[in-house]
Structure 1
Amino acid sequence: MNTEERLDFLEFRQQLLFDNTSFDRMLFEYQITRNQLRSILDLFDEYRNAVDDNEEVHHGSYEQRVYDIVPQHDGNYHFAEEIALTLHENDRYTEVFEALYGDMPKFQAYLNN
């Protein structure tokens, strides 16, 4: 990282600490950058539109797209799941989480609440 990127990263992390939601804490823990967050939210907007258009979505392709955005967590499906789950728990992109993971038994407790 150059100096400007490093400064933005530190300022972004400081903002995450101030905001202190469960989603912010997850982003902080995984050392996500501001640009990566923007790309992740764009991805969720894309998936929301696909769900709204009754297109089939699959968690495997979603997870690969997350790895493309955040290569430092390539192959860590727990990370990709946690993004979707944490957004769902914060009442954001709930339809995306349900479309991607709604058929998986390990997430049934989150869907039935």
Structure 2
Amino acid sequence: MSDALLFVNMLCSRSSQPSVIRFVRQEQGYVAVGASRQRPGSVIPGEDGTTHASFGVAEGYTGCPHCGAASFVRCGRCRKLGCWDESWEAFHCRRCGNSGPVDGVIDSLPGPGSD
């Protein structure tokens, strides 16, 4: 798989429904360009390792396919992605139950297909 693309699993912070974010590499790091619903039982190709870079949202990113949240965060406890919207006071991780205000930046994500 090309290092120009990165696919990472994400859970909807409102509904707990799974999705996959597609990132495209740009000069300064990776930007999310789309997210799609993940059908039950489907698996995206896995790869070991961690990608170290900056991560952001591209102009035109349509957000979470389940609730429409405009961005994403990585949980400080389980390190997994969840959707997030700047209008929300706090992030609530549907995987591990962690919650709190959002701060900082994402500087690494698990390799393609990682849960």
TM-score by length of 1: 0.25
Larger Rg over CA atoms: 1
Higher strand share: 2
- Structure having greater relative contact order (Cα 8 Å, sep ≥ 6): 2
Q: What's the TM-score once normalised by structure 2's chain length?
A: 0.25
Name the structure with the higher helix share: 1
